[in-house]
Structure 1
Amino acid sequence: MSVYFESTIENHLAIAVTELSHADEIFELLYNDQENIGQFLGFVALTKTKEDEVNYIKKKMHGIADGTDALFSIIRDNHIVGVIDLHYIDSENKKAEIGYWLHSKFQHQGIMTKSVRKICEYAFENIGLNKLSLFADVENIGSNAVAKHAGFSYLATHPDYYVHRGQLRDMNEYYLLKREF
């Protein structure tokens, strides 16, 4: 696998800047685990072809160039197992949101918590951000646990925050400040 930039989390685990060459592997992960990943994430239903994934990566690359996004592949033993990103990067106010997903085969192993901690380190030390936010569906037990285990503080529950699969969903909001990291 080609990688432009990689940051090691621990032996056999790293995050790497997502490249177009990662699109096939990411699409296969999404396709093979779409019911699990799509349970709380609406973009999964919109990712029907490898070309859809290529277009998403291109869109994020434009965001990277504009300073509003950062997209990373989570790599374990030289294979992509998930994705993590910073979005809505606001350099003026020094804040951003974190989003992520992980194939179900790799869940409950601490991979996502470690990846979130690594992206926080990157955001605070490399981009100069001060505040990171993380939103999790109230019923997404795993994502809420990741937020807590990664050191985020609960801020609020936002009722009817978004529509997913035709239903209004509530979201928990968490935050982490640089000084608390």
Structure 2
Amino acid sequence: MKLRLVDPKDAESLYDQIEKTRPQLAKFMPWGDSTKSVEDERAFLTYCQGRMEENKLWNASIVIDGKAVGMIDLHNIDPDDQHAEVGYWLGGEYQGNGVMTDCLQKLLEIGFDELNLHKIKLLAEQVNQASNAVAQKVGFILEGQLKDEIYSNGKFHDANLYAIVK
């Protein structure tokens, strides 16, 4: 497993994973239903590259056996207050094997050591047991619970706010 900076060339492989995992992704990701084609995914990846050039985003594909199978990012990067938020998803066939835990550990190294962040936050829907478990395994601390914080799957959901400080 490795992280590779976001590249529109990964659109087909990522879209394949979105299609295979769509019911699960749609439960927790607002874009789970709206990404309808390889072209949609390619446009999103191109948009991400632009945000990275503006230093507003750090985004990578998760690559296993040479194939992009998910994504992980730092978004809402605030260089003044030195914090950012984590986002991630992984194709269903790769879940449950510690891949996201390893990716998140690498992302923390990048955030703290390369981007000079002081604090990294992670929001997880309370009902998303897998995402909550990943946050806890990597050492994130639960800072609070936010009511109706995330809109996905047609309704608002409560979220756990985790954070880790350098």
TM-score by length of 2: 0.97
| Structure 2 equivalent of residue 75 of structure 1 | 63
Instruction: Give the CA deviation at 1:40.
Output: 0.6
**Paired amino acid for 1:86:** L
> Which of the numbers 55, 62, 74 marks the counterpart of 2:43?
55
Corresponding position of 1:113:
101
- The offset of 1:150, in angstroms, is 0.9
Per-residue CA deviation, residues 127-170 of structure 1 (Å, 9 max, x unaligned), is: 11110000000000000000000110001110111322222210
- Runs of 4+ in structure 1 displaced over 6 angstroms? none
CA contact (8 A) 2:6 2:48 kept: no
Q: RMSD of aligned C-alpha atoms? A: 0.9
Structure 2, gaps ≥5 residues long: none
Return the alpha-carbon distance in structure 2 between the equivalents of residues 60 and 172 of structure 1. 26
Q: How many residues align?
A: 166
* Residue number in structure 2 paired with 1:8: none
Task: Report the 3-state secondary structure (helix = DSSP H, G, I; strand = E; otherwise coil) of the residue aligned with 1:43.
Answer: coil
CA distance, structure 2, for counterparts of residue 173 and residue 104 of structure 1: 24
2:113 pairs with 1:125: yes
Specify the alignment match of 1:9 in structure 2: none
1:100 and 2:94 matched:
no
Among all aligned residue pairs of Structure 1 and Structure 2, give the percentage whose two residues are the same amino acid: 30
**Matches of 2:152 and 2:5 in 1, distance apart?**
28
**Could you tell me which of 118, 143, 146 is aligned with 1:155?**
143
Partner Cα distance (1:27, 1:77) in 2: 17
1:7 alignment counterpart: none
Query: What does the per-residue CA deviation read over 1:57-83, in whole Å, with 9 as the maximum and x for residues that have no partner?
Result: 111111101100011011112122211
When normalised by structure 1's length, the TM-score is 0.89
Matching residue of 1:25: 13
CA distance in 2, matches of 1:145, 1:20: 30
Aligned counterparts of 1:33 and 1:168: Cα–Cα separation in 2: 21
Asked whether 1:135 is paired with 2:123, we answer yes
CA distance, structure 2, for counterparts of residue 80 and residue 162 of structure 1: 26
Contact 2:121 2:164 in 1 (8 A): yes
Work out whether residues 125 and 150 of structure 2, in 8 Å CA contact, stay in contact via their aligned partners in 1: no
- SS of the aligned residue for 2:2 comes to strand
Amino acid at match of 1:164: S
